[in-house]
Amino acid sequence: MFRSRKRVCRFLICCLLSVFFLVACNQNMTFQMMGSQPRYNPLEPSNFFRDGQSAQQPVPDTVARGHLQDDSALFTGRVGNANVTTFPYPVTGDILLRGQQRFDIFCAPCHGRTGSGNGLVVQRGFPAPPTFHQERLRSAPVGHFFDVMTNGFGRMPSYAEQIPVNDRWAIIAYIRALQLSQNATINDVPPDERLKLGGP
């Protein structure tokens, strides 16, 4: 009985070793097949294509999936060489709230919560950025702000990696709201709301 157990153990060990060798053999064969597939080295000529080149240009108008950025105003803030003067889509209350949130995170440390240029970083010695309430920036087109956030300007670095395109536009909408809040007149208030302010 002991001998029969020994024989069974030997048989099982032989079977297991055979399986391992077969698997290893199959892997080596697979790698060899993959390594010997027909292929071209970079810039190697080819008789298959009419132009004789193995490396072919992409089909015209080919765009990587998810990277079609054909709306210049939305993705660059410019049309041709000019900054856009209007937002690429309607500004809603939700967009303003999103802009306020993103502004407080990314912009307020330098520009301050009201856009006056006296953020906490400035209070600790960093050079002050210009206030958003000066006439030059109040009259600047919205595309200017998008360009500065995207490409940086002066001491301000680019925020293109940190702030997605739509959030940049939301921040600009909030900057416009801040500018209006500091420079509005009674004529900017809707007539039905003026009575609440004690206006005529």
β-partners of residue 53 are 45
User: What is the reported pLDDT for 48?
Assistant: 87
**Average pLDDT, integer, range 79-99:** 95
Residue 24 has pLDDT above 70, yes or no: no
pLDDT of amino acid 187: 82
The larger pLDDT score, comparing residue 80 to residue 198, is at: 80
CA distances from 8 to 1, 20, 52 (A): 11, 18, 64
Q: Which CATH number fits domain 73-183: 3.40.50.360, 1.10.3720.10, 1.10.760.10, 3.40.50.720?
A: 1.10.760.10
- Average pLDDT on 30-56 reads 79
Tens digit of pLDDT for each residue in 123-172?
999 999 999 999 999 999 999 999 999 999 999 999 999 999 999 999 99
Nearest Cα to Cα of residue 101 among 179, 156, 177, 180: 177
Domain boundaries, the chain: 73-183
The residue-averaged pLDDT of 36-41 equals 78
Using CA atoms, how far apart are residues 128 and 80, in angstroms rounded to an integer? 32
199: pLDDT strictly greater than 70: no
Which residue type, as a one-letter code, is found at position 126? F
Residue 174's SS3 state is helix
Rounded CA-CA distance 166/161 in Å is 13
CB 132 within 8 A of CB 111: yes
Percentage with pLDDT > 70 across the chain: 87
pTM over 0.85: no
